[in-house]
Structures are given as C-alpha cells and as structure tokens.
Structure 1
Amino acid sequence: MALHLVLLVVGLILLTAGAEGLVRGGASLARRLGLTPLVVGLTVVAFGTSMPELVVSLSSALRGVGDISLGNVVGSNIFNVGVILGLSAVVSPIRIQLGLIKLDMPVLIGISLLALGLALSGSVSRGAGVVLVLLLIAYTAFNIRLARKQTAAAVAQEFEEGVPGPTASWLWDLLFILGGLGLLIYGSNLLVNSAIALARAFGVSEAVIGLTLVAAGTSMPELATSIVAALRRQSDIAVGNVVGSNIFNILGILGVTAMVRPVLAPGISRLDLGVMVAYAVVLLPLLWSGQRLDRREGLLLVGGYLAYLWVLWPGT
C-alpha cells in the first residue's frame, strides 16, 4: 500500500508539473500571437489548469474504469467549491467584481443539472459528449466576446498580472507544451494505476477513490492558483478560476471523455451528484449577496465538504 501511495503522489506531482508547463508554453505562444491577457486567462490558463482532470478521466475511461472517470469530474467540482473557494475566502475575503459571474453561475447550475440527468440515465453516450463539447465551444466564444466588451480596467489588470509572460523564444514555448503533455500522460498513468490499487487495498470502491483522492489531487493546480490570487487580492481570478474550471470539467472533460468512450459509472450515487449540484446552487446567492464571500461563508463551504467526506467514507 505504501508503494501505491508514493506512486500516487509522484503521479500528482507529474500532473501538476505538466499542467504548469502546458500553461506556461501555451500562454506564451498565445500572447506571441497577439491575444490579450484577458483572453489568454479565460482560455489557455483556465483550460490548462484542468488538464490533469482531463487526462486522468480519459485514461480511466479507456481502461473501462468509469467510476474513476466520472468520479474525478464530480469530485473535482465539489472540491473546487467546498475546499478551494472556501479556503480562498478564509485566507482573504473575496470581493466579487467580475460581471461575467452573472452569466457563468447560471451556466454552471444549468450544466450541473444536465450532468445529473445524464449520469442518472445510466451512461454518458458519445452523442451526449458531442453536445457537451459544442456547448463548451459556444460558451467560450460568447464569454470571450462579452469579456472584451464589458470587463473593467481593474479586472483586466488582474489578468495581466496573473497570466504568464512570454518565454525567451518560440522554441521554449514548444518545449514547455510538449514536455507538459508528456508529463501529463505519464503522470496520469501512474495516478490511475495507483488509485485502482489503493481502492482494492483500502477495501473501498473505485468511485470513492475517484471522488476523493483522485479529484482532490488533480485539482491541485486550481488550489494553488486560487490561493495565490486570494493572497494577492486578485478576487476575480480566484472566483473565475473555480467557476470556469467547474464548467470546463463538465463540458470539456466529461464531453471529450464520452466522445472517446461512453462513460459508465454505476458507483457514482445520487448523493455525489446531488452535492455537486447543491454546491453550484448555493454558490450563486453567496457570490451575489453583497458581492462578497467572507471568511464565515468560506468556512461554511469547507465544513460542507468535510461533512460530505464523513458521509461518503463510512458508507463504504
């Protein structure tokens, strides 16, 4: 068991390093091509930090371990709100200025309900995957267009500071991108193998491992990004990172994974899916009430996650 825990940690480290390399190279390349920091932040950075979840879900689905594949998506969305956003608010109360939240939060609630319906139907088919990916493309295009028109100068400055700058040359961009992809693929193989072995060793289901250890581990890039943003008082990046990541997890990760192979996850329960939807619904009034997420509300989010874990593990 100890060896599998070590390999799991190594896999997570490789995934995090791979995502960092991919984001750095991709952001640099995008800025060389003339994209603004705002657009880069909403696309390359947001999608890049979700790459660990994508490669892990794909790898799991290809091996026929649908519970880890879907559990990673559902668990990551729960972890992102309950732990990442909650801890960010505890570190530094978050003021909500980004007007796009008015669009993003209803979208997150809507697609969370859609994911709930798809999962309860028995499987997420290739056709459903195509629909999810098309929704992601439409959402991203609309978001970029709206951001260019409505984003305030202060928010644009936050993205300017938060997006990685160009590297020394195009060659370094490509090396970062290719190296990051390589680390992501190798790290995902280590993580999935270790997760399956740990599930057997602990005597729990693969779904529980996917919902907890795998989901929390693959969310480390988002955790680091949001905590640093909170410490720097970059509130919009902290919130936008979580909300954007959760949207991408459902539309992008679940969508692409289902397109490659239909996702069957009988181990993911109504409780797990319900908690994911509940967090999305509860987050909306918290963000809009006074346009501030304070420490007390942050502790409430973290407490909810701990309660979910308490219910989840003994039930196995």
Structure 2
Amino acid sequence: MLHQILNYILNLHIDTDADHLKRLDGQRLNLFSFSIGVILIFNSFRDLWFGFENYFGVLFILGVTSLILFFFTKVRQNSLACLITIELCILVVFFFSSTSGFENGMSLYYFPLLTSPLFIFNTRKTVKHVIIIFATVFILFLISHYYDFRIFSIGKMGNLEFLKNQRLITFIMVFVALAIIGYFIMLKHFTVLELYQKLLRSEKIISDMRTKLNRKDDLDLENLVKLAINDDIAFIPKIKSSFPNLYANLMEINPNITSEEFKLCALLKLGFTTKDIAEYNHISVRTVQTKKSRMRKSFGISADTDLYKWIDTL
C-alpha cells in the first residue's frame, strides 16, 4: 500500500518517454513539493491547536500552494510561477518576523527559502531567479533590522507556553525543513554523479568494443550499451539483431539455454565486468559470480577458461 502511494507521488504526470535525467528530476520535484506541502499543513493545524489563527491561515495557504505545485505539474514546471510562490513566502516571513522582535525566531524561515531555489532552479536560464530571491531576502532582512523587527503588529493570542518556546519550535521546524531540502539536493547530486559515471563507463565499453570488432559505422553500439546499462527489455532483441550468430552458436552448445544465461552471455560479449553487471541489473556481485559459475556448468566451460575470451570465439 505504502509502496503504491510512493510510486503515485513519484510518477504523477511524469512522461515515461522522457529523458532518464528529466524523469528523475521530475520525480524528485514531485516528492519535494508534496513533502513540503504536507509539513506546512501539519504545522498549520498545530498552530491552530495552540490558538494561533493567524499562523494557521498563513501556513495552511502555503501548504496548499505547495500541493497545487505538486498536482499541477505545468504550473510547477513554470519557473516564473515557482519564483512568485517563493517570493510570496518570503513576504510572509518578512511580515511575521517583524511583528514582535527578532527574538521570536521567525526570521529563521529565511534559510529554507534561500536553500529551496538551489534545488528547484537548476538551469543557466533560471540562475537569475536565484539571484532575485537572495536579493529580496537580503533587502527585507535589512529593513526589518532597521526597525528592530517591529514593523507590524498582530493581536496577541494563543498559548502562552507556546509563545515562550516559539523560537525553539521555529528552530526545530527550520532544522527539519533544511534537512529535507538538503536530502533532495544531495540526492540530486548523487543521481547526476551516477549518470555521469555510467556515461564514462559506457564510452569506455563502446571504445573497447569498437577496437575489438574493428567496426565503426555498421553497429549501433551506443544504443546497445545504453539499453544494457538501463536494463531495458529491448536489450535482448537488440543484441540478437546486432550479433545474429551469437544466440545460434550458444544454442548449439546448450539447447536448453535460458533467457537469463543468454543475457549474461550478451553482457560478457560487450565486455561488462562483474561489477558492471551487478550495478546495472541491481543485484549483488556475489549473485553475478554465482550466475557465472552456473553458466560454466551449463556450457561445460572449464574453470581455467576466461569467459570473455570464450564468448568472443562465438
């Protein structure tokens, strides 16, 4: 049940035919906007419980806005709409942080608002949005500082015990928000790094394969390796068409060859290492080694025979 809900959140309005990086980026933004929306709405009802109707209204509106960005992907993908939303949040923080002095700790909310655009705006074209947001926070903070954070006033209502601990509660909430944003930024960094490493590895595999085959134009190795790295179901048909004699030769040796054994042979044919096969098929290195041992028995390959040299002879 939870897995289905998570998949729904991740893949809402995600184009399955989109580029792998764009798809991952969209999934992260889905989870980010949904998480922030839920947290804001939860905190709004907390403030309502303690009698802070004003805080409740503001946090609830911001939470609903975040969920709108989640459910309406076209709005979220509009960088101007995201910029306006963050600017509105900054104005809200500016108002509440300037009502009862710096000691209320509300100005701490500026920090997650400064961090969020670093995750949301990630292209050269949207760098200007980040600059606008940073400039807005800087200017508004200086204005609040000049007036000793006592520009506006609201009715004093709510739980007195909550008021005494407001700064601590604000710090905890900001800490949680920064932790969530930091998690998504790190996740994005690791994803990009992983894709870059895959690209470098695929280029080496392609280069080694071309040198070995001495073929430059008549074999679509780029697409073949890409399918293998992404563990795409189209890999098997593609390898059969690219190496038409491979499957037939393997069938002569072992007529009972399984699809898994053929896939392993195909990956070995392309020069994938044990580590490569484990990583791209999402299995452990030990599992790959076990598969190799079973394949040796299935095809009668001696232990001192190099599997890569053996597959190259077919």
The structure where helix makes up a greater share of residues is 1
| TM-score higher than 0.5 | no
TM-score under structure 1 length normalisation: 0.27
TM-score under structure 2 length normalisation: 0.27
**Which one has more relative contact order, counting CA pairs under 8 Å at least 6 apart?**
1
Larger Rg over CA atoms: 2
